[in-house]
Amino acid sequence: MTKRADKAPTLTDVARAAGTSTAVVSYVMNNGPRPVAARTRERVLAAAAELDYRPNRIARALRSRTTGVVGLILTNASNPYFGALARHIEQALDQHGKLTLIGNAGYSPDRQKHLADKFLAAQADGLIIVSADGGVDVAAQAERAGAPVVYVHHRPENGQVVDVDADNDAAVQQAVAHLRSHGHTRIGFLAGPHDAGPVGRRRAAWETALAGADAPLLRCEYARADAAAMTRRLISEDAMPSALIAATDEQAIGVLAGARASGLPVPERLALISLDGTPDAAYTAPALTATEQPLRTMAQQAVDLLLNGVSPQPPARASLVLRRSCGCTPA
């Protein structure tokens, strides 16, 4: 193993190159606590770039008793919905100078608790938990560690922390109303294997919107393969409804694949709307009509709540994006 020939540049080296004091360099690198004149700031940043100087995060943590790190726990990193939400959260944290460490719970409540323990042991400044099924509430544990915690998308049952979520009722109401505008009366709903979390709220909103109308409730795992297999089976049994609202994009994409494999045309024989609206929805065949969840707004609200303690905002509303799968022909 080779050793570096030169030592890493220090704060003193940057100060010497910029012709200023180490205190001023520190103010520039830490954005405070004192203001620095614009021209002086430019000289410091130019010197730091020339020397390839990087602040020592460990030393900064020892001085400030903060690490500058926030732990982000995802219920499933491979799901595009959670991946897109994580990207927005990371961007929002970066605007505050925070480094994001991401852990994947893989839909496991035990793994979610394990990751929270690890992040708190590493003295993370806070936790953002994107949880699908809740799991154990770690709010009290985080409070003892001096780290705030915010749940996004879902929170543990009887949890004491306010979670950041979207308006699921409004999303379902939009989807039902739009399918009715196409003349559909028997509008099915594809839920998950159980009714925990936002999917359960979406299913309840579907039942309310239909007001007792005869419509099938379908269930499968949150996976494309499971949704495709279910769709092929229902088509073979002549039991597929003419209109369907899928709780997630993963399921909706699987339904499209199953319909295509069985020769069932979409939207001519099956009108389909999804309730996630991830970037993948625009590139299916046909393109998937979806209620596009306000992920950027949710991410910003979560970060503001975590870092600034701002009051929780009302749930943001999704926007219905019309594409071909529902029967529309968008311009």
Contact predicate 79/106, CB 8 Å: no
Same CATH fold assignment for domains 68-164 and 168-293+319-326: yes
Overall CATH class of domain 11-55: mainly alpha
pLDDT the model gives residue 62 = 39
Residue 4: CB atoms within 10 Å:
6
The CA-to-CA distance between both ends of the chain, in Å, stands at 60
- Print burial letters for 279-293: b (CB count within 10 Å at least 16), e (below 16): ebbeebebbbbbbbb
Q: For 246, left (φ over 0), alpha (ψ -120 to 50), or beta?
A: beta
Range of weakest confidence among 85-94, 196-205, 263-272, 284-293: 196-205
pLDDT the model gives residue 48 = 85
- Consecutive H or E run containing 249: helix 249-261
Angstrom distance (rounded) from CA 270 to CA 261: 14
Residue ranges covered by each domain of the chain:
11-55, 68-164, 168-293+319-326
Average pLDDT, the chain: 88
Angstrom distance (rounded) from CA 324 to CA 317: 22
Strand, helix or coil for residue 111:
helix
- Compare 279 and 145 and report the one with higher pLDDT: 279
For the domain made up of 168-293+319-326, give the CATH fold: Rossmann fold (3.40.50)
Q: Is the pLDDT of residue 29 over 80?
A: no
Relative to beta strand 126-130, strand 99-104 is unpaired
Strand, helix or coil for residue 143:
helix
- Print burial letters for 21-52: b (CB count within 10 Å at least 16), e (below 16): eeebbbbbbeeeeeebeeebbebbbebbeebe
- The tokens of 114 are what? 């394990």
Q: In this predicted model, what pLDDT tens digit does every residue of 76-129 receive, in sequence order? A: 988 999 999 999 999 999 998 899 999 999 888 889 989 999 999 888 999 999
**How confident is the model over 64-70, as a mean pLDDT?**
71
3.30.428.10, 3.40.50.2300, 3.30.465.10, 2.60.40.10: CATH of 68-164: 3.40.50.2300
Q: How many CA atoms lie within 13 A of 283 on its CB side?
A: 3
DSSP string, 123-138: T-SEEEEE-SS--S--
- Can you give the pTM of this predicted structure? 0.78
Assign 134 a pLDDT band (cuts: 50, 70, 90): low
